[in-house]
Amino acid sequence: MATRSTYSAAGRVYSELLALAGERDHVAPAPQITTLAMSAGTTRETASRAVAALIRRGIISREDGKLIIHAPRMLRELII
């Protein structure tokens, strides 16, 4: 937990997405942004921007009520 608290706000959102996915390449059902923000200890706006940036870059996508992680290595590298 100590290491996780030193991440940036967006990094905490990315870390939470990876934790929710576990060993899978998706998160099903897709978490609500508010719930994701609370779990990451940040605001809804920050979590929304972080997820939107990942979608724009093609790292994740939303499909059929789940989040698909297309590039888990890139997502791990963004956690700072």
Residue 49 pLDDT > 90: yes
State residue 68's pLDDT score.
97
pLDDT tens profile 54-73: 999 999 999 999 999 999 99
Mean pLDDT of the chain: 92
pLDDT tens profile 22-31: 999 999 999 9
The 3-state DSSP class for residue 64 equals coil
